[in-house]
Structure formats: C-alpha cells, structure tokens
Structure 1
Amino acid sequence: MKKTKLKFAIAGAVLVAAVATGTALAVNGSSAGSGSTSGAEQTRTEQAKQKKLSAIKADGSNVFPHSLDFDARSNTFFAGSLKHGTVSAVSPDGKVRTLIDDPEMVSAQAVLVDRERDRILVSNVDYGTADRSKKNAPFRVAGVGSYDLESGKQDWCVDLTAVTLDGKQHLISDVTVAPDGTAYAVDELTPTVFRIDRKGRASVFLQNDLLKGTLDIPDFLNDVGMSAVEWVEGNQLIIAMADGSLVRVPVKHPEKAQEVKLSAPLGSPTAGMRLLKDGSIAAVSSGLLTGKPAQIQRVEPRDGWKKATVKVTDTVEDPVTSDVTAGPDGTTYALSGGLADLLAGKPNDGFSLTPVKTE
C-alpha cells in the first residue's frame, strides 16, 4: 500500500466506497401487491412516480457524506459526514440538522438505520482529512458505533483495531445487520469481516483470501477490497468487492464462502449497495476514475445467490455518486455528496439526492 497526495487519498476512498461505502437501502421491488393491483402495475406506478421527482438539494454545508439511509417511519434520510464525523437528519425538502455528534467518531462513513431496534449503526474511519483526524496516522481508526434513532445518544462505540491487534491499516467501509440484531462490518484494507453483537461486543467473523483486494488506485492504494455488504435471505452475507465481483458468505458456515457467478461484473469501483424488496440488490458504481456517469445496477439472484444477473438500470451524471437508498413512497435516490469539492479542498453548500430507476 502506498500513500501520496491528499487529493488521491480522498479520491481512492470515494471510489472504493471507502470515502464515498457503504451503503444504502433501495426501493420496492416488482412483487405483486394486495387487492387487484398486479406486480407489473405497481412497478409501472412506481416508475411513473420516479419520473416526476426532482433531485433533493440538501442544505448541509461541508457535510460531505459518503453514505446515507432512509427511515420510512419518520420520513427522514440520515447521512454521515466524512468531514465532521457527525450524522445528520435530512428531510425530503432538504433541511439538515445534526443528530449524532460523538467525539469518538472521527469520520462517519457507512450509515444504517435499524428501525427494529430504534438505532443507527455508523462505521468509524479516518482518512487523515476530517476535523478529528490524526493527520499523520491515517487508517488507524476502525470501528462501529450504535446510536439511539431519536436522540442520537451513543449506545456503544467499538474499536475494531483492538480486536485484531495486527498493527495494520484498516477501513470499515460498510455494515449490515441480521434479523437477530447481529451486525457485520467489512474492512476494505484487510480481508476481514467482523461480527458485533447487540451489546457492542466484537469478534473476527471471517478472514478469507476471497476477500483480499485486487483493485489498485493509482498513486494511492493497492489491493483495495471489500466495499459493501448486505444480509440477504437464506442467512447469507453478500459482499461487494471494489473490483466489481460479489462474494456469498453463509453465516452459519463462513468457511464455505464463494464468489457469486455474475452474468457481468458490476462497474468498478463498486461503491454501495442495498437490498430491494423483492430480494434483488441495487448497487452504485463510481465513475471517478473514468469521469463517466455513475452507474446504478440491479443484481437479481439465482440458485440461492450462487449466481446472479446484472443489468444497468440508470446513471447519475455526477461521477462521484457513492450510494443508493430508499426514499419516500417506494422511490429510490442516489447520493452525490459533493466529494469533488472535498477532493479540491474547497467548501461547499450541501449535497444532492437524485431519483433513479432500479428496474
């Protein structure tokens, strides 16, 4: 691994879902609804809604989020700040207020709403560029915090470097949660998946060569690996690698992890993904290295996620788009966090959510 200029440091993070992972919910699928409305009719209705939507311009200056999630009950988005280490509540009209401001959180990357337990899970990282960074020691902070969904008060914040004690650099790019409340966090710089119980007690769940990184970011990082993770039906983890591949991990038998056979690789670097209502996954791939629009892709599983079909369903003009999440009334939004300004060391006046198609 090599470290160079600040702009490349942030750029790599954005691309691999590290500066820009983790992670977000997608939208209603095409399964049939109740009554006389067919699944196809529901899909057409949702697509019609999507076409009428306009982008949400959030007014949070210098927040620079990489990831966000949506809480349907409160009709609120929650976005992490790479710059401030905070988590903001964002209303559909773009109003932003700080909900979580924890001194232990250096840079807030992955954000996950766990409504079942009225909490928000947030990954703690350090690129050396945040207000609370240790400027000369990047990638030495790696953890996950749990916070009350209403008050933002910390439940716990676990230091995952204390679990491995390996002296290596770490970057917790994403986190997901199983129905029993167990959280799983993936490390982009080592092939390690962590398990965290509901009380914040952490352990190494899996270390596997399948999860070693193969994507090189010029003049910044070599061998970049896991960028996103989702818990899916069948008690499995689906892990996105920055190079566009997917790995399936049976939770009860992690030693049986295997690569998913895809009809085509996801765009690389893959930045974030979330589970759709019908069991498929929506993923977003950054275009920062190429300068081309970011891609929204639909991944439809076959044979219990041993295989999957990949198709591009939409694009977002901003190449630095880094996440995709559910929105109000079954819509889907992609996050562009203003990271181009962050790369250039410039302030900005907010970030944007763009409606996208996942069918």
Structure 2
Amino acid sequence: MFESRAEGLVSEARVQSEKKVPSDATLMNFIEGARFVPENELQANDITQYHVTKFYREHIQKSRYYEQLKHIVEPSLKELESPGSLDTSGEHDNTVVPGLQHKYPQTGLLLVTDRCASYCRYCFRKRIVGKDSDEIAPDFAEVARYIGAHPEMNNVLLSGGDPFILSTTKLEMIVDHLLPIPHVTSIRFGTKTVAFSPKRLEDPTLADLFRRMHEAGTTPIIVAHFDHMGEISSEAEHCIRGLRAHGVQFLNQTVLLANVNDDPAIIADTFAKCHEIGVQPYYLFQGRPVKGASHFQVPLARGIEIAKGANQRLSGIQKTFKYIMSHYTGKIEILDLGDDGRVYMRYHQNKYPDKIGKIFSRPYVEDAYWLDDLPEA
C-alpha cells in the first residue's frame, strides 16, 4: 500500500526488526523518522498512501524551500493524531447522480478519477484518492442527461483525483458528452499536475482537445494548484505559456497550510509569480478540518492577517483572490476580524441564491479554525 524510500531506513529497520513487529505492519518513512505501523492503524486513521512523482521530489529538493514543501507530500506522524471529517463540504449530500455534484446552481462538479500524480497530505478528498472509489462517475451519458436537463448549469468542473491522470483519449470521451449541451459555456479542469508532472500538459493531443472545445464555443479553463512559489518550475511555466497560446485560461487556487505557506510574504510572492506567468490567483482556501490533515489548519485570526498582509504586498491587478472557507453551507469569503471581536464573512457561493453576498458575523474565540468553531451568538 505504501512506497518506502530507501534513504535513512536501513538503520531504523534494523532497530525495529529486533522488536516485535506485527506481521501486517508497514514500514513508513515519516518526516519524523521511519516507523512500522500496523495496517489496521493506517486504515483507522485514513492515512493516504505515499506517492510523489520523481519530477516533483527532485524539484523541491533542489529548491531553497524544501523544508516547507516537503510537508505537502511527505507523511507525518501528526496524521495519526489529527481529528476531523472525511467530507467537510457535504459532497455526499449534494451528489445528484453517481459522480456528479450540484451544490451551486451554475456549477456541476464531476469526479472523473480517484488517482493523482502525487498525493497531498492535506487532501480534503482522502476518502477517495488512491482508492477504488465508488464515488467516481461510472456513466457519463447519465451525467450529461442530468446537466442537459438543468439549463442553469453553465460550467462543469472536472475533478477527482486529478483529471490529467487520465489519458487524453479518456478526457476526450468525457468532454464529448458535455460539448453538445448548449448551456455549458466552460469546462474547468482542477489539477495539481502542473506542479507535479508538467510534461503531461505538453501532450499535443491535449492542445487539440482544447482547440476543439474553443471551436464548439466552450471555454477550457485549467485551475492550477500552486501552494507556494517554490512549486512553480520552469517546466510548469513552459507548459502554461504554451497552452495559453491555444486559448486555455488559467486560474490558481492555494490552500493556506501551517508550516508551508502561512506567511503573507510567501502568499504574495506566489500570487505575484502566478500573475506574471498568466495564471490568475483565484482562491486562498482556509485549510479544512479533514481527518488526518487538520494539523495543517491555521487559526482564522492568523489567516486574516496573512490575507491582509498579502494584499498589502500586491499591486491592484494582482489582487484577484478571495480568502475562502469551503464550508458545508457554501463558499464563505472571510473578510475581517473587527474591533468588536467578531469575524465578518459573506457567502461567495450558496445553494440558495438569496444568501449569496450577504454579510454575517460571529464572535471570535481563540484558536478557532473553522466556522463551526465560532459561536452563533
């Protein structure tokens, strides 16, 4: 289930071999050191398997940011102590046909794979990724029928997992079910492959697919996922510039992560670099209370400081991001912590249109990380 790296494991393995090790134990190289962990303990704590591309591993090791970036892909013993939920946004409750979520009127979220090029330790879909999940869409014709019957849905987001793990032939098959639907004007591809394995996006048949989408009147949008400017390789820049020349729009979403990018200068530098290469900063996400990943969360008060500090460092045309909490009730923009001790927020998206844009507040309490940590008074 888990891949073990050879470096630093031999001496630890000898020590462990002298102890009584359960027959079903797996040797894992955690950030804190190698450990044998029983399989049932890994499963009970929903520990995602370890996998990282050779490209990304070598890139971050050569960068001057390795001490931060290693936390994105290397497992930590903190995962075994991290409480939380496996569905923090109510994805099960908003699934309308297998694999398709319809939480917000205009948007369909389509789960097309349960695999990624590398596995992020903070993933909010760890219930799915790296597993044979029954939440992945099995019938794209059924998906298309539902979308075709809902003219309010003007965009579809392909997600998972990472859609660019799929072959271009499989992506073409999925897109071919969506292109005939007249009210779908854009198709988004949510991906971290641009960071993990950018060569994948240099496939000429991908450019052909995006060109065909344009000819059909549907805008292709790649939502990249750079959490830190140290992830933006020259290879990533090259593939982004190439696809932009074919009319592909690029957005970026970043997750605010403790010990990785919880610094306003890092966030500002990341967004400035994205803007420089034609990738529009889109969302800065508050880390979710995910089981096995809640240790990545940053307190809301600190997050507000970071978002403000990043804004102060960016020019007007670079300030295109929103600081967002993707909550069960909707996407909540986190605005400020007022002098009155209340956190001010508004719904950026909600399944009920009359709630969108409404500002509300809750009293702040120390070490609150999520809306549910704030009292309703």
> Structure 1-normalised TM-score?
0.32
Relative contact order, CA 8 A, sep 6+: which one is greater? 1
Name the structure with the higher helix share. Answer: 2
Name the structure with the higher strand share. Answer: 1
Instruction: Give the greater-gyration-radius structure (CA).
Output: 2
